[in-house]
Structure 1
Amino acid sequence: MIGGVLIDWGGVLTSSMPEAIGRWIEADRIDGVHYRAVMHELIEHAYKGGNGDGNLVHALERGELSGADFERDLAARLLTLDGVPPVAEGLLERMFAGFHRVDAMYDALLDLRGHGVKTCLLSNSWSNTYPRDDWDEVFDAVVISGEVGMRKPEPRIFQHALDLVGLPGERCVFVDDIEANIVAARDLGIAGIHHLDADSTIARLESMLRLPLRRA
């Protein structure tokens, strides 16, 4: 029986990453084609390139590289439509400014806790600020990569989250919008839900946990 839900933040409890990044690209007049080529190389290496030694994304997500240092490096790789690098200072804040809270997902988590299900936020951070006002009500535990020195899809960060909620992998489900993270969780016996949108994820949770979670 499922007794715990581990869940990502960006793109799951918020509006999608492409939507947020699209707003930033337009606002900062970023060359979108060039940006996607740069990020494809970084992310491909981060999630499919072994242990990622020397990878900027790994270092940032584990808290080994400061946000300011990452901003300077990333800005130097990018171009605006004017053919010059964007302003480095505040780059990450501007990138994530387009994230918006998805209330339906938070409501589902509150319902889960009301039914006695343990909930744990499990998020890879990019030195970003999280809106934590109601987290004590929503989560039993919080695991943010830059604060614990581990990142998804490393097995040890999943084990850390399981230890915090006091449950084995076989009794938990993990919700994320990145397939590589889902695969890593499944290797530890954790059921996975690849998040596409709130409606389909909530429906999957209802089915797996046999609990009513939708709200009028």
Structure 2
Amino acid sequence: MLKGVLIDWGGVLTVGLAEAIAEWIVVERLDEAHYRQVMRELIVHAYENTENGENTIHALERGEISGLDFERDLAARLLTTDGVPPVAEGLLNRMFSRFHRVEPMYEMLREARAAGLRTCLLSNSWANEYPREGWEDFFDEVVISGEIGMRKPEPRIFEHALGRLGLAGQECVFVDDIEANIEAARRFGIVGVHHRDPDLTIAELETLFQVSLR
């Protein structure tokens, strides 16, 4: 019997990554093609070609380097439309300010808790400031990578989150927008839901839990 929901933040409880980043690129006046080339290499290495060793995203998500150190490194790789690097300090918070909250997903969590399900935020952080006001209404537990020195898709972060919830993998569903993270969760028997659209995700969760979540 399914009893718990593990859920990502950026791109799941917020607007999609593509939408948020596209808005930020315009406001930051970045050279978009150059930005996407730089980030594609970093993200693919961080989540797909992990056999090639560590990179700065791994260290950032575990809290092993400061946000400012990462901002300086990233800013040095990027260019604005004026052909110069963007301002490094505050770069990440400016980017994450575009990750606007998706209310139906939060209401889903409220309904899930009302139905007796346990909920856990399971997020890889980039030294960003999370909008935590009212989180006690939505989450029984909060697991943020940079605060505990573990990151998705490492197995130990799933073990940690399950322990915090007091549930077995087979009793939980995990919602994320990155397939590598979902595959890692499935190795614990956790049911994976690949988030692409709020309505589709909520409908899938309602089917899994056999309860209304709207």
TM-score by length of 1: 0.97
Cα distance in structure 2, aligned partners of 1:113 and 1:190: 19
What is the Cα deviation at residue 54 of structure 1?
3.8
What is the Cα deviation at residue 49 of structure 1?
2.5
Native 8 Å contact 1:185 1:191 kept in 2: yes
What is residue 38 of structure 1 aligned with on the other side? 38
What is residue 172 of structure 1 aligned with on the other side? 172
Native 8 Å contact 2:46 2:54 kept in 1: no
- Cα distance change on mapping 1:209 and 1:99 into 2, 3 Å: same
Look up the equivalent residue of 1:87 and give its one-letter code.
V
Q: Secondary structure at the match of 1:89?
A: coil
Q: After TM superposition, what 4+ stretches of structure 1 lie above 4 angstroms from structure 2?
A: none
Cα distance in structure 2, aligned partners of 1:54 and 1:184: 18
What is the Cα deviation at residue 52 of structure 1?
6.2
Unpaired segments ≥5 residues, structure 1: none
Native 8 Å contact 1:125 1:146 kept in 2: yes
What is residue 105 of structure 2 aligned with on the other side? 105
What is residue 158 of structure 1 aligned with on the other side? 158
What is the Cα deviation at residue 32 of structure 1?
0.6
Q: Secondary structure at the match of 1:30?
A: coil
What is residue 185 of structure 1 aligned with on the other side? 185
Native 8 Å contact 1:52 1:58 kept in 2: no
What is residue 207 of structure 2 aligned with on the other side? 207
What is residue 29 of structure 2 aligned with on the other side? 29
What is the Cα deviation at residue 82 of structure 1?
1.1
Look up the equivalent residue of 2:56 and give its one-letter code.
L
Look up the equivalent residue of 1:185 and give its one-letter code.
A
TM-score by length of 2: 0.98
Unpaired segments ≥5 residues, structure 2: none
Q: CA RMSD in A?
A: 0.9
Look up the equivalent residue of 1:23 and give its one-letter code.
E
Q: Residues 30-67 of structure 1, C-alpha deviation per residue, up to 9 Å, x if partnerless?
A: 01111111001101110123266440000000000100
Aligned residues: 214
Answer yes or no: is 1:50 the counterpart of 2:50.
yes
Q: Residues 69-125 of structure 1, C-alpha deviation per residue, up to 9 Å, x if partnerless?
A: 000000000011111111111110111111111111111101111111000000000
What is residue 73 of structure 1 aligned with on the other side? 73
Cα distance in structure 2, aligned partners of 1:107 and 1:133: 15
What is residue 135 of structure 1 aligned with on the other side? 135
